[in-house]
Amino acid sequence: MNKLLAGGLIMFSIFTGCSQGSAPVENPVAVESGKAAVVYFSWSPDGNTRFAAETIAAKLGAKTFEIKAEKPYSNDYSTCCDEAKPECTGKQLRAILPIDGLDASQYDVIFVGTPNWWGTMAPPVRTWVTQNATALEGKTVCVFQTNGGGGMQRVGKEFAELVPNSNVLPAQAFSGSSIRRNVAALEKFVTDRVRMK
């Protein structure tokens, strides 16, 4: 019965494009203009996470910064899956390029976006967060992810473990295939968490 209910909810979410994995957020954090930034990684030609990042940044009036792997993953879906699997399951880091103009310590609130890869964050995101854990100390961090139907899986939990000294607000999962019909949910994701001063 519970399995039936859970399956039904997943299908409902896939077909309606609802955001997934939402948890209540107490009070939105007040942030001054120019003190929020959006950092993301996106791989697929559709750019689902890029779309989410740009929509969130537009709502915030913030800049976006893209994380890129030093050695890009294959453009072929199944080869990319094979390349990423051991990295994701082994929580390995993949080298990333320096991000022009980004000094995470200059911001009070950072939104970080990743596709769900093998149930967790994409390895270049794990690398960026690990490299910036000290810069993110004491800051508010808002995690969002897009996925192919698996929902949040381990993304939010594993992310929070990387930055134990940050104020990590409840992460949010979005269905990748319906992200472009989900602008209102992306905007609500922002306004639930931050209030521009």
Ligand X SMILES: Cc1cc2nc3c(=O)[nH]c(=O)nc-3n(C[C@H](O)[C@H](O)[C@H](O)COP(=O)(O)O)c2cc1C
Beta-bridge partners for 20: 173
From the list 9, 28, 10, the residue with the least C-alpha distance to 189 is 28
DSSP string, 167-182: EEEEEEEEESTTGGG-
Q: How many residues does the chain have?
A: 197
Rounded Cα–Cα distance for residues 87 and 164 (Å): 22
Q: Minimal distance in Å, beta carbon 73 to ligand X? A: 7
Of 55, 176, 186, 194, the one binding ligand X by CB under 6 A: 176
Binding pattern for the stretch 155-174 against ligand X, x by CB under 6 A and - elsewhere: --------------------
Residues 73-92 that bind ligand X (CB under 6 A): 77, 80-81, 84
Taking the complex as a whole, how short is the minimal distance between the CB of residue 143 and ligand X, in angstroms?
14
80: number of Cβ within 10 Å: 16
For residue 17, state whether it binds ligand X (rule: CB under 6 A). Answer: no
Spell out a b/e string for 108-123, using b for 16 or more CB atoms within 10 Å of the CB, else e: bbbbbbbbbbbebbbb
CB of 146 to ligand X, least distance (A): 3
- Nearest residue (beta carbon) to ligand X: 176
The answer to whether the CB of 49 falls within 8 A of the CB of 183 is no
Identity of the residue, 166 or 178, whose beta carbon is nearer to ligand X in the bound complex: 178
For the bound state, the minimum distance from the C-beta of residue 164 to ligand X, rounded and expressed in Å, comes to 25
Q: Applying CB under 6 A, does 18 fall inside the site for ligand X?
A: no
Question: Based on CB atoms, which residue is closest to ligand X, 21 or 139?
Answer: 21
Task: Report yes or no: 37 and 100 within 8 Å, Cβ to Cβ.
Answer: no
In the region spanning residues 95 to 154, those forming contacts with ligand X, defined by CB under 6 A, are 115-119, 146-150
Q: State which of positions 32-71 bind ligand X (CB under 6 A).
A: 42-44, 46-50
**Closest to 42 (Cα-Cα) out of 132, 116, 143:** 116
Interface residues toward ligand X, by CB under 6 A: 42-44, 46-50, 77, 80-81, 84, 115-119, 146-150, 176
